[in-house]
């Protein structure tokens, strides 16, 4: 197969939603259709020993939530599909934001009963800003929930999207009979038997066909005809270019747990979703079809296998071919590295690959060379943009609870911070370590992983900080900057890259500081 054909048959997408909307279950069922797993793991109860395939960290299995993005790949209808299943919990939003830099399209999962929730709004806003094509999947149709039209209105108003239903539900909850697939013009009947992998599909190109009444009954058939007529009058027709430009969002209905409506979603996705897209770097826009290899690190994960102290850097390939044992330039370090065992993923199962193409995600064994946002190329000096660290919202001192294990603690903190789990600041005044996170649950994850993966124990102490801001002086030698450093000494720290950070203890103090030192800029993301 030629290089261009390999690119065109790739689809790399992320699944995003509020926690509990059924994102991980949908991922499982997509893998089931791709023949990648034989039996999908139940995600319903934390007590079930068999966990979801994409939740492979011990703490995820215990809590029943996803805390890290996992990468899964499978083939379907001769298309190579790469899924990035992201955490839905808001405390892990930073991981999700970074993952969105590595996808070419997104599936947004919405719970029929709860409708659009807060975390979904934030994530969709990021996708809209980046013009990422989105497909909406309304899940749990076998439960009582909101009316289809009310939901579509809510999606349009709250998420600011232009929707276009490509399937439509017949009833809901106890009266759920199935869906009419507008895209393929057929009726899919719902039996409610989760053991059946594929539901019955009946071709019905003409809705006035009496066959429809025989299948679902007169009342349901008449309601469906009225609703579809109304939907076709209200919503725009599907236009693939508008979808790819991020201006139109197709909507599907189904029940991931019952394996219902998932095949329709996957079939349409394979037909319409974009293959790898061009990406902007600091010097130019890079096209996937270029011959020269480029890629960037969007995630680092330590201890994927607890038996081996391994660290993997996840690289999204943007252009050219990535080949095993070929030296590539690490742009930030300006040195060549070669990789003897690059991995492709299926949750925690990994296999060594010789060649990877644009759109693929490759795991590289890392001894500490990589940070999130690093770029690898065949020799060109360029840096990919848009992978910031956000200003944390929670701050605590971290203390060593076992002085015999200080080396392990040091190593553990170092590696977990490289992963982007949280951010480490060292106070200028006394060199004490402060950990800043986006969500409070992160502290539990850090404590758990330090103990179980590094054999180190830590405790926390509260610290009154409102916001961390990266400091950019106009002139480092100016009197104003020297005064700022002297007056604010006890609020200053260095981040992991040695950049100066101001830890403001209140909104008021931050505003006063900004007014008093006008030549100094204060940034809320580290990428400036």
pLDDT digits (tens, 9 = 90+) for 7-37: 999 999 988 888 788 878 888 888 787 765 5
SS3 letters across 104-121: CEEEEEEECCCECCHHHH
Q: 265 and 308, same structural domain? A: no
Mean pLDDT estimate for the chain: 83
Q: 404 and 519, same structural domain? A: yes
139 is in an annotated binding site: yes
Q: Which residues pair with residue 471 across a beta bridge?
A: 522
Of 185-189, 214-218, 223-227, 385-389, the least confident: 385-389
140 is in an annotated binding site: yes
191 is in an annotated binding site: no
Rounded to whole angstroms, the Cα distance separating 99 from 297 reads 10
Side-chain-side CA neighbours of 177 within 13 Å: the count stands at 18
Q: Is residue 293 within 8 Å of residue 321, measured between CB atoms?
A: yes
389 is in an annotated binding site: no
What CATH number should be reported for the domain holding residue 517?
3.30.70.3280
Phi, psi of 374 (to 5 degrees): -65, 145
| Cα angle value 191/197/201 (rounded, 5°) | 60
Question: Given this model, what pLDDT does residue 62 score?
Answer: 56
- Total domains, the chain: 3
Q: 346 and 309, same structural domain? A: yes
- pLDDT tens digits along 138-162: 999 888 888 999 999 999 999 999 9
283 is in an annotated binding site: no
Q: Is residue 312 within 8 Å of residue 301, measured between CB atoms?
A: yes
Q: Is residue 362 within 8 Å of residue 356, measured between CB atoms?
A: yes
Average pLDDT over residues 469-475: 91
Q: 455 and 363, same structural domain? A: no
86 is in an annotated binding site: yes
Q: 441 and 355, same structural domain? A: no
Q: Is the pLDDT of residue 44 over 50?
A: no
308 is in an annotated binding site: no
- pLDDT tens digits along 290-321: 999 999 998 887 655 555 556 788 899 999 99
SS3 letters across 438-482: CCCHHHHHHHHHHHHHHCCCEEEEECCCCEEEEEEECCCCCHHHH
Domain contains 152: yes
Q: Is residue 243 within 8 Å of residue 163, measured between CB atoms?
A: no
Using CA atoms, how far residue 353 sits from 102, 324, 330, 337, in Å, is 20, 7, 20, 17
21 is in an annotated binding site: yes
194 is in an annotated binding site: no
- pLDDT tens digits along 96-122: 777 788 899 999 999 999 999 887 888
Q: 493 and 406, same structural domain? A: yes
- Indicate the pairing of strand 375-377 with strand 433-437: unpaired
57 is in an annotated binding site: no
Using CA atoms, how far residue 126 sits from 84, 235, 259, 458, in Å, is 16, 24, 29, 35
273 is in an annotated binding site: no
pTM: 0.77
288 is in an annotated binding site: no
Rounded to whole angstroms, the Cα distance separating 339 from 325 reads 5
Question: Given this model, what pLDDT does residue 352 score?
Answer: 85
- Indicate the pairing of strand 394-400 with strand 343-346: unpaired
Q: Dig out the tokens for 276 from the structure.
A: 């790898």
Label residue 21 exposed, middle or buried (CB < 10 Å: 0-12, 13-18, 19+): buried
172 is in an annotated binding site: no
23 is in an annotated binding site: yes
Q: Which residues contact 389 (CB under 8 A, 6 or more apart)?
A: 94, 372, 420, 423, 495, 525, 526, 527
Question: Given this model, what pLDDT does residue 46 score?
Answer: 36
Domain contains 183: no
Q: 498 and 471, same structural domain? A: yes
301 is in an annotated binding site: no
């Amino acid at each position: 197969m030629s290089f261009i054909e390999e690119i065109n048959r790739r689809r790399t997408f992320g699944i995003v939603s509020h926690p509990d909307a059924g994102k991980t279950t949908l991922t499982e069922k997509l893998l089931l259709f791709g023949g990648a797993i034989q039996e999908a793991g139940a995600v319903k109860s934390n007590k079930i020993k068999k966990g979801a395939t994409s939740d492979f960290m011990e703490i995820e299995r215990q809590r029943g939530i996803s805390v890290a993005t996992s990468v899964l790949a499978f083939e379907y209808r001769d298309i190579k599909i790469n899924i990035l299943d992201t955490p839905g919990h808001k405390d892990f939003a930073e991981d999700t934001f970074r993952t969105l830099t590595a996808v070419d399209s997104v599936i947004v999962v919405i719970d029929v009963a709860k409708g659009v929730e807060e975390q979904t709004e934030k994530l969709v806003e990021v996708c809209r800003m980046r013009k990422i094509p989105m497909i909406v999947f309304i899940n749990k149709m076998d439960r009582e929930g909101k009316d289809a039209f009310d939901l579509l209105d809510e999606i349009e108003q709250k998420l600011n999207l232009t929707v276009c239903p490509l399937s439509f539900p017949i009833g809901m909850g106890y009266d759920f009979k199935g869906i009419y697939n507008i895209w393929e013009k057929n009726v899919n009947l719902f039996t409610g038997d989760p053991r059946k992998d594929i539901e019955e599909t009946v071709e019905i190109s003409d809705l006035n066909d009496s066959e429809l009444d025989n299948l679902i009954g007169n009342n349901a058939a008449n309601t469906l005809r009225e609703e579809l007529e109304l939907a076709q009058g209200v919503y725009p027709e599907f236009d693939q270019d508008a979808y790819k430009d991020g201006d139109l969002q197709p909507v599907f209905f189904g029940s991931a747990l019952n394996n219902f409506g998932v095949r329709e979603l996957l079939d349409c996705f394979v037909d319409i979703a974009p293959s790898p897209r061009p990406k902007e770097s600091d010097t130019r826009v890079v096209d996937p079809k270029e011959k020269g290899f480029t890629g960037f690190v969007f995630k680092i994960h330590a201890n994927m296998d607890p038996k081996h102290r391994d660290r993997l850097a996840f690289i999204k390939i943007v252009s050219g071919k990535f080949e095993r044992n070929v030296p590539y330039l690490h742009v930030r370090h300006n040195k060549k590295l070669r990789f003897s065992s690059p991995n492709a993923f299926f949750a925690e199962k990994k296999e060594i690959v010789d060649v990877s193409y644009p759109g693929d995600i490759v795991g590289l064994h890392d001894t500490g060379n990589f940070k999130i946002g690093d770029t690898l190329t065949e020799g060109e000096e360029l840096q990919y943009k848009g992978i910031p660290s956000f200003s944390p919202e929670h701050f605590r001192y971290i203390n060593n609870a076992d002085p015999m294990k200080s080396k392990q603690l040091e190593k553990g903190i170092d590696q977990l911070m490289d992963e982007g789990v949280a951010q480490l600041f060292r106070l200028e005044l006394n060199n004490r370590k402060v950990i800043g996170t986006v969500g409070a649950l992160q502290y539990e994850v850090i404590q758990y992983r330090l103990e179980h993966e590094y054999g180190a124990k830590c405790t926390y102490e509260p610290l009154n900080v409102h916001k961390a801001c990266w400091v950019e002086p106009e002139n480092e030698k100016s009197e104003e900057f020297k005064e700022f450093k002297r007056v604010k000494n006890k609020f200053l720290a260095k981040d992991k890259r040695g950049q100066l950070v101001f830890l403001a203890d209140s909104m008021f103090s931050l505003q006063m500081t900004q007014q008093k030192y006008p030549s100094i800029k204060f940034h809320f993301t580290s990428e400036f």
